[in-house]
């Protein structure tokens, strides 16, 4: 079999600034590994918005890594912003999808037995509809979030004004997938599947699972351990007795301030990492004021891998809290699990896709952060060596059974191949 893979993503190809970027980097690695293991002759094209050295999220390390891969070609495509934004607005998404489709449609498909085009997240949602329809060309949109989940974002100023247009953009993509036999939706979790069926009227038969997960066969890259900036920042907390720790983008729905309030309430030092979208983002002032009020340690825009540095190096008890108010399928829980550390207790707000990742008090705990007293009680109940050790043991079982990304991508790839047989 000769296969052409087109992976399209606003993050994770020559940039890296959020969870979508992390998953896209993993897709590239895993799909290449699988095709080599299966003896499939392939070519891989990576489509991404144009970035320059000063673009938000641009990662020279990520770009260099992907540029050095064999049989892989990076295809920067204009979204009309002049390389000023990767994610952007509905206007940028339309331009990006049209320009990407023009390149893909110009490829001589007669050379391949199968073409798989994966459109990641909302910026590429309109792409499948624009691609040439051929029984050998399978088109998959993977929504890593939707407008009806997040109800707006903080990545650009005044983004809420684009919400209705975003939802219409996503609805149009689902309508096309429902009507086109060569198009599918890649689901990153059970919550997303149900959400797309109930809120976007997706035909459930059009779902192919590709659950978010970890690459379990590979050792984590320890390069960040040698970063002197990480070491310097870590000095601020390395002597603390115990911490409650959260990290994420500076978004209202991430609810990072809840970690500060809860930590202050239960007597754990709150440590919070917030990655901003732009200088003087309004939410940062709220974080700073709350950090003063609760005696929290707040890091704003440290190195992207500083959170992992803390998890690797802090040997005393850590409560990793995922306080999000909305989350389709986070990656933090399984990233922490993959470390296999008995000193870490995973706690999360009992919402959305988070609740499917944790079996309460078996491999983590689910809390209701609208009730700090009850959350405090539940955390204190499970904060002991035996409980944390048992939960970590059970976490390893769930991680291997459900969130092994290589197995999930293999199942996804074989399901796609079956559609042409």
Helices marked H in 256-384 — which ranges? 257-266, 282-294, 306-313, 332-337, 354-357, 372-382
Is the Cβ–Cβ distance between 395 and 338 less than 8 Å?
A: no
- The yes-or-no verdict on residue 396 having pLDDT over 90 is yes
pLDDT tens, position by position, 368-381: 999 999 999 999 99
In angstroms, the CA 261 to CA 275 distance is 19
pLDDT tens, position by position, 88-119: 999 999 999 999 999 999 999 999 999 999 99
Please provide the size of the chain in residues: 421
Tokens of residue 399, six digits = 């991680």
CATH of 2-213+404-418, one of 3.30.70.20, 3.40.50.300, 3.40.50.2000, 3.55.40.20: 3.40.50.2000
Nearest to 140 by CA among 177, 111, 167: 177
pLDDT tens, position by position, 241-275: 999 999 999 999 999 999 999 999 999 999 999 99
The sheet carrying 41-49 orders its strands as: 72-77, 41-49, 2-8, 114-120, 137-142, 183-187, 207-209
Specify the pLDDT at position 159: 52
In angstroms, the CA 209 to CA 232 distance is 41
Is the Cβ–Cβ distance between 148 and 167 less than 8 Å?
A: yes
For CATH 3.40.50.2000, list the domain ranges present in the chain: 2-213+404-418, 223-402
Architecture in CATH for domain 223-402: 3-Layer(aba) Sandwich (3.40)
Name the pLDDT band for 335 (thresholds 50, 70, 90).
very high
Rounded to 5 degrees, φ, ψ at 57 are 85, -5
In angstroms, the CA 247 to CA 84 distance is 25
Specify the pLDDT at position 303: 93
pLDDT tens, position by position, 142-158: 999 999 998 765 555 54
Tell me the average pLDDT of the chain.
94
Question: In the chain, helix, strand, coil percent, each to 5?
Answer: 45, 20, 35
In angstroms, the CA 81 to CA 5 distance is 26
Question: How many secondary structure helices (H) and strands (E) does the chain include?
Answer: 16, 13
In angstroms, the CA 85 to CA 68 distance is 25
Nearest to 195 by CA among 144, 159, 257: 144
């Amino acid at each position: 079999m000769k296969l052409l893979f087109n992976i399209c993503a606003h993050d994770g190809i020559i940039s890296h600034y959020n969870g979508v970027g992390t998953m896209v980097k993993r897709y590239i690695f895993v799909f290449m590994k699988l095709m080599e293991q299966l003896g499939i002759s392939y070519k891989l094209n990576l489509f991404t918005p144009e970035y320059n050295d000063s673009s938000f999220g641009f990662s020279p390390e990520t770009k260099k890594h992907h540029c050095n891969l064999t049989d892989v070609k990076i295809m920067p495509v204009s979204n009309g912003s002049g390389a000023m934004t990767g994610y952007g607005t509905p206007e940028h998404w339309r331009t990006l999808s049209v320009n990407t489709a023009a390149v893909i449609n110009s490829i001589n498909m007669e050379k391949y037995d199968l073409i798989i085009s994966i459109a990641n997240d909302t910026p590429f949602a309109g792409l499948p509809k624009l691609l040439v329809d051929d029984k050998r060309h399978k088109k998959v949109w993977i929504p890593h979030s939707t407008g009806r989940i997040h109800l707006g974002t903080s990545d650009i100023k005044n983004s809420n004004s684009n919400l209705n247009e975003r939802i219409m953009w996503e609805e149009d993509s689902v309508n096309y997938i429902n009507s086109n036999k060569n198009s599918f939706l890649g689901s990153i979790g059970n919550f997303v599947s149900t959400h797309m069926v109930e809120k976007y009227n997706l035909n459930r038969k059009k779902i192919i699972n590709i659950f978010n997960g970890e690459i379990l066969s590979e050792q984590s890259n320890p390069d960040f351990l040698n970063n002197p900036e990480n070491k310097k920042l870590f000095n601020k907390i390395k002597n603390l007795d115990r911490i409650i720790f959260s990290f994420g983008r500076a978004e209202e729905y991430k609810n990072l301030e809840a970690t500060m309030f809860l930590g202050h309430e239960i007597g754990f030092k709150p440590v919070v990492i917030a990655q901003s979208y732009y200088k003087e983002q309004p939410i940062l002032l709220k974080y700073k004021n709350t950090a003063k009020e609760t005696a929290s340690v707040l890091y704003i825009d440290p190195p992207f891998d500083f959170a992992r540095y803390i998890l690797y190096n802090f040997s005393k008890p850590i409560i990793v809290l995922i306080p999000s108010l909305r989350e389709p399928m986070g990656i933090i829980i399984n990233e922490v699990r993959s470390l296999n550390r008995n000193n870490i207790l995973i706690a999360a707000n009992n919402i959305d896709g988070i609740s499917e990742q944790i079996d309460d008090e078996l491999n983590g705990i689910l809390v209701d952060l609208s009730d700090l007293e009850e959350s405090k009680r539940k955390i204190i109940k499970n904060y002991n060596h035996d409980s944390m050790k048992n939960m970590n043991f059970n976490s390893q079982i769930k991680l291997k059974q459900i969130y092994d990304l290589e197995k999930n991508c293999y199942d996804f790839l074989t399901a796609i191949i079956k559609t042409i047989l």
